[in-house]
Amino acid sequence: MNGEVRQWVRTARHIVLLSGAGMSAESGVPTFRDTQTGLWANFRPEQLATEAAYRSDPAMVWDWYQVRRDSIAKVQPNPGHRAVAAFQRRHPGRLTVVTQNVDGLHQRAGSPGVLALHGNIAEDRWLDAPRACCDASRLRDGRPPACSACGNLRRPAVVWFGEMLPAAELEAAEAAAQTCDLMLVVGTSGVVYPAAGLARATAGRVVVINPEPSALDDAGDAVLRGTAATMLPELLAG
């Protein structure tokens, strides 16, 4: 089966790689709940990753995200991330990365144009619509930083519970899914929508790569039991 999938990769004109948390597991990226220790043991992530929580206690939520940022900053892209980026360098324009991960490891590995559906934890944006005075290069220090003129807060540039996915990224991902002739679904449980729906919306072949069963196995033309770091260097070697 691996040989057949490698042939699909070689002949595909446009490939979409849809990655989930399993893509980064071998890098040692802490999961959403791994930071719920120590001070944070009494909180559920769903209590903290919301706009309401941030407006209620911005310092507490900012500090929680800083713990996650510090943890992610210590890890590196794994061979799976690097294999994807290397394939893109060898074959410009042939592979589009769509990720549910906020860790930025695809980008750090060198993948261009990553469609990060849930944002990037290393980046910030304004909590409220920025005014003319809001300049990210001139901030009032704090936890969190804020506009020195109007007090508009900075916030992690991730999608919180109850928020819509970024429209431009989702539209681009849907267009890529609908036009690709091969989709590699890597390390995702397949239960989070609308991202999981991309695998069911494509007219191309679907290959599911996951060491464990997922909710998208039934959509796969091939299901490969393995991890991103072991399978992708082999499949994308050409």
> How would you write the pLDDT of the chain (238 residues) with one tens digit per residue?
678 999 999 999 999 999 999 999 999 886 554 544 444 455 667 778 999 999 999 999 999 999 889 989 999 999 999 999 999 999 999 999 999 999 999 999 999 999 999 999 999 999 999 999 999 999 999 999 999 999 999 999 999 999 999 999 999 999 999 999 999 999 998 888 898 899 999 989 999 999 999 999 999 999 999 999 999 999 999 7
pLDDT at 42: 54
What is the reported pLDDT for 31?
A: 56
Identify any residues that bridge with 157 across adjacent strands, giving them in sequence order: 120
Is 34 inside any structural domain? no
* Structural domain includes residue 37: no
pLDDT the model gives residue 36: 44
Structure confidence at residue 30 (pLDDT): 66
Closest CA to 24 of 188, 219, 195: 188
- Among candidate residues 108, 137, 158, the one where a domain is terminated: 158
b/e map of 198-212 (b: 16 or more CB within 10 Å)? bbeebebbbbbbbee
Position 46 scores a pLDDT of 74
Cα angle for residues 71, 160, 210 (degrees, 5° grid): 65
Residues 70 and 81 both lie in one domain:
no
**Choice among 14, 81, 106, 118 that is catalytic:** 118
Record the pTM.
0.91
pLDDT for the residue 186: 97
Are 137 and 66 within one domain?
yes
Asked if 23 and 70 sit in the same domain, the reply is no
In a domain, 129, yes or no: yes
* Final residue of a structural domain among 105, 138, 158: 158
In a domain, 39, yes or no: no
Q: What is the pLDDT of residue 114?
A: 98
Q: What is the pLDDT of residue 193?
A: 87
d(CA 171, CA 165): 10
Instruction: Write out the residue range of the structural domain in which residue 215 sits.
Output: 1-29+76-118+165-238
* pLDDT number for residue 176: 97
Q: Are residues 67 and 183 in the same domain?
A: no
205 and 87 co-located in one domain: yes
Query: Are both 83 and 190 inside the same structural domain?
Result: yes
What pLDDT score was predicted for residue 1? 62
118 annotated active-site? yes
Residue 133 lies in a domain: yes
